[in-house]
Amino acid sequence: MVVRRILCVAEKNSISKAVAGHLGGQYQTGNIRGTQYVKNYSFDYTFNNSWGPSSVVFTAVSGHIMQQEFPSRFKNWNNTDPWDLFEAPIEKSIDEKNQPIANNIKQHAQRCSILYIWTDCDREGENIGAEIRQIALSANPRIEIKRAHFSNIERTHIIQAANNPLLLDDNQVNAIESRMELDLRTGAAFTRVLTLSLQDMIKAVDPELGIISYGSCQFPTLGFVVNQYLRVKNFVPEPFWSIKITHKKEDEKNKKPDQRPITVNFNWVRGHLFDRMAVVLLFERCLNAKFAKVIKMERKPTSKWRPLPLTTVELQKNGSRFLQMNSSRVMAVAEGLYQKGWISYPRTETDQFDREINCQALCQKQTQSREWGPHAQGLVNGNFRQPRRGTHNDKAHPPIHPVNYVEKSTLSHEEQKVYEFVVRRFLACCSDDAKGEKTTVAIDYGAEIFNATGLIVLHRNYLEVYPYEKWEDSQQLPEYQVGETFIPTEAKMTEGKTSPPHYITEPELITLMDKNGIGTDATMAEHISKIKERNYVESRPATAAGRLAAASDEGDTAPATRGRGGARGRGRGGRGGATASARGATRGVEEFVPTTLGIALIEGYENLNFSTSLSKPFLRKEMELQMKAICDGQRTRNDVVQENIERYRAVYMRTKDQMSVLKAAVNKYIVEPERSNGS
DNA sequence: GCAAGGTC
């Protein structure tokens, strides 16, 4: 019998190894001369389709294999006009360091009749698949090309995928091609023209500075930092006024001999107003009314929702908040934990677990821990809840979760922190929401409405294992009857002023990048590092205000309990939401201040007064939409590339024309430094 | 000496 030979290629070694394990059970491992990260796994497998019994070699690449570059005649910065880079040819070739991997594919392709592509099922994976296809076809033009569709590496899912080969989606391949081409052309053209035009001015004061780069991700990232800097700098405090009511009342329900009356604080539903006379008039109406009347007394169950399954963006934000590590560091540590097999793949946008993933079994593995084992045991013994499902699914990777238990003492200090966070987050996802009872009393006092709220936490549930979030009892309210009237113990008009905004913190910057589609889960941290490296921004420990804001996050609380404490979303300067203890847990948060150069670049481009601003995130957002259109077959790669090149050419011409404006901006900040940090 | 995206 002729046995079919099939060459399978994954995007990374961890996938080929895991899939080989599921399909082959027993497999032979072969080394590849010249690379240490990729292996060949050989085994026999009977496909449950027309392929039948087959001899399989399962290998991998390490991400992209090819690189694109301009031909050498365009490589000299001094005798190439950057303008020419908008239409210079681009050569795609096998990256020198990937040559052994490419040769390995060629060698096996010659002996196989089918190339089965197992790259990640996202757009970038589709493109990497096309690179693999090209290399295999160069060695064996008759090889048949198939593509596996899988979104996790659970056994049943993988076997299902293996038996149902599909085709590469060339629309996705082309969408990525257009992004690559535009990023290279615009990045190179603008980096060269900016560097060549401005470096003399800047080197005069900063001889260290090498290049002034432009990139479709790094520039908008810088834009966010500068934007917030300008808000801080231009801030003018504004006074506001409010009304506070207190009432001392015996708690009829829990009357004990030594019981002292409870002081209830009522907050004005209007929060505060910026018009003093208006508040004076309203306050006088309150005083004239003399009596306050209870219009609502409500006790109802409330809950604080357990967190969603962990994505990369969330891991990075929480790393800043709770683990005293910046996003680059967190990712490096998570990568190590993944390599060692303790946690799942750390680059994912997915916040929902597929049904195939047995979360309960994963909880079981954590029962050995002295610290969180008892909680995990409780889950196994009946408290387990299937995790909530978020709205994101990259269809390539599951949420980040622990895959095996490891004794903390065998890990480095930083690894311990990240591993513990991943585990606790996962166990929290599999626990029940925290449950409590919320009391709200509303009064009408001179036609103004005031509220008092109280919270009793009844069941901490997920909070038991997730100390990163706090939810604590607040003031206990005495019993009121609707219709009851009383004379407030104290009514006063208060005065305050808006406080200045803080510089942007790392979690806030990541949130903005995420919302605007700047970078991917794998690259956001790199873009932040890049603008530091380019000397566009500096980082420093955040001030108390920044840490406070960094600790607060919308979306983690059930609607019924939103605005507890009443501070959230009130004044223009107020950014409430974090508890005192959350504040203490965020010492490691970094904030970013643009350098004079960073401000000059952004301000210079703003002053070009041009509709297509390089410093704003819209261009990147639009490119994202255009890539989707290519994926949906509504636009072609060529069409999108041409349209964008025209736009960038217009910006480029404007840049050259108005170089004096850019130079003036640089001059203003650099030659006559005028730094006012507002702190 | 340029970008952003994979990956170790």
**CA A616 / C1′ B3 distance in Å:** 17
Q: pLDDT confidence of A207, banded at 50, 70, 90?
A: low
Tokens of A46: 């009977």
Contact partners, residue A234, CB within 8 Å, separation at least 6: none
| Closest CA relative to residue A8, chosen from A54, A48, A53, A52 | A54
User: Tokens 């991917």 correspond to what residue?
Assistant: A520
Contact partners, residue A422, CB within 8 Å, separation at least 6: A310, A315, A334, A337, A343, A400, A401, A402
Q: Where are the alpha helices (DSSP H) in A347-500?
A: 359-365, 373-378, 413-429
pLDDT at position A553, please? 52
Q: Pick out residues 449-488 of chain A having their CB under 7 A from any atom of nucleic acid strand B.
A: none
| Closest CA relative to residue A401, chosen from A454, A374, A365, A440 | A365
**CA A407 / C1′ B8 distance in Å:** 24
Other CB atoms within 10 A of residue A383 CB:
16
- CA A454 distance to own-chain centroid: 34
Q: Pick out residues 100-139 of chain A having their CB under 7 A from any atom of nucleic acid strand B.
A: 120, 122, 124, 128
pLDDT at position A67, please? 94
Distance CA A25, CA A5 (A): 18
Question: Is nucleic acid strand B under 7 Å from A98's C-beta?
Answer: yes
- Domains of chain A: residue spans and CATH: 4-168 (3.40.50.140), 175-235+505-540+588-671 (1.10.460.10), 239-306+434-497 (2.70.20.10), 312-429 (1.10.290.10)
Q: Which helix (H) or strand (E) holds A135?
A: helix A123-139
Distance CA A654, CA A269 (A): 51
Residue from A27, A214, A229, A345 carrying the catalytic annotation: A345
Question: Is A345 among the catalytic positions?
Answer: yes
pLDDT, tens digit, 9 for 90 and up, residues A623-650: 889 999 999 999 999 999 999 999 999 9
Give the CA radius of gyration of chain A. 30
* pLDDT score of A675 more than 90: no
Three-state DSSP state, A522: coil
Distance CA A250, CA A480 (A): 10
* pLDDT score of A568 more than 60: no
* pLDDT score of A603 more than 60: yes
Contact partners, residue A646, CB within 8 Å, separation at least 6: none
pLDDT at position A671, please? 60
DSSP secondary structure, A3-37, as one string: PEEEEEEESSHHHHHHHHHHHHSS-EEEEETTEEE
User: Tokens 């590849």 correspond to what residue?
Assistant: A32
The set of strand B positions with any atom below 7 Å of a protein CB reads 1-8
| Closest CA relative to residue A454, chosen from A561, A334, A608 | A561
Tokens of A184: 């290279």
Of residues A584 and A223, the one with the higher pLDDT is: A223
Are residues A602 and A614 in contact, defined by beta-carbon separation less than 8 angstroms?
no
Tokens of A205: 């004061």
| Closest CA relative to residue A4, chosen from A105, A106, A113, A104 | A113
Distance CA A213, CA A9 (A): 36
Instruction: Judge residue A481's burial from the number of C-beta atoms within 10 Å of its C-beta, 0-12 exposed, 13-18 middle, 19 or more buried.
Output: exposed
pLDDT at position A203, please? 74
**CA A108 / C1′ B3 distance in Å:** 33
Distance CA A28, CA A8 (A): 14
The mean pLDDT of A86-106, rounded to a whole number, is: 95
Question: Is nucleic acid strand B under 7 Å from A88's C-beta?
Answer: no
Of residues A202 and A423, the one with the higher pLDDT is: A423
* pLDDT score of A499 more than 50: yes
pLDDT, tens digit, 9 for 90 and up, residues A225-240: 999 999 999 999 999 9
Question: Is nucleic acid strand B under 7 Å from A354's C-beta?
Answer: no
**CA A11 / C1′ B7 distance in Å:** 8
Distance CA A73, CA A154 (A): 50
**CA A481 / C1′ B6 distance in Å:** 64
| Closest CA relative to residue A45, chosen from A114, A93, A101 | A114
- State the Cα torsion A28-A33-A38-A41 to the nearest 10°: -20
Are residues A627 and A179 in contact, defined by beta-carbon separation less than 8 angstroms?
yes
What share of chain A has pLDDT > 70, as a percent?
90
Are residues A120 and A147 in contact, defined by beta-carbon separation less than 8 angstroms?
no
pLDDT at position A605, please? 83
Q: Which helix (H) or strand (E) holds A650?
A: helix A637-657
The long-range contacts involving A45-50, CB below 8 angstroms and separated by at least 24 positions, are A45/A162, A47/A162, A47/A163, A48/A163, A49/A163, A49/A164, A49/A165
pLDDT at position A136, please? 98
Task: Give me chain A's average pLDDT, please.
Answer: 89
The mean pLDDT of A20-26, rounded to a whole number, is: 92
Are residues A604 and A193 in contact, defined by beta-carbon separation less than 8 angstroms?
no
Cα–Cα distances in angstroms (integers) from residue A269 to residues A158, A185, A284, A450, in the given order: 55, 55, 17, 6
Tokens of A586: 């965020």
Distance CA A21, CA A34 (A): 24
The mean pLDDT of A417-424, rounded to a whole number, is: 97
pLDDT, tens digit, 9 for 90 and up, residues A135-146: 999 999 999 999
Cα–Cα distances in angstroms (integers) from residue A509 to residues A203, A221, A319, A533, A550, in the given order: 29, 8, 13, 17, 10
Q: Pick out residues 207-266 of chain A having their CB under 7 A from any atom of nucleic acid strand B.
A: 210-211, 213-219
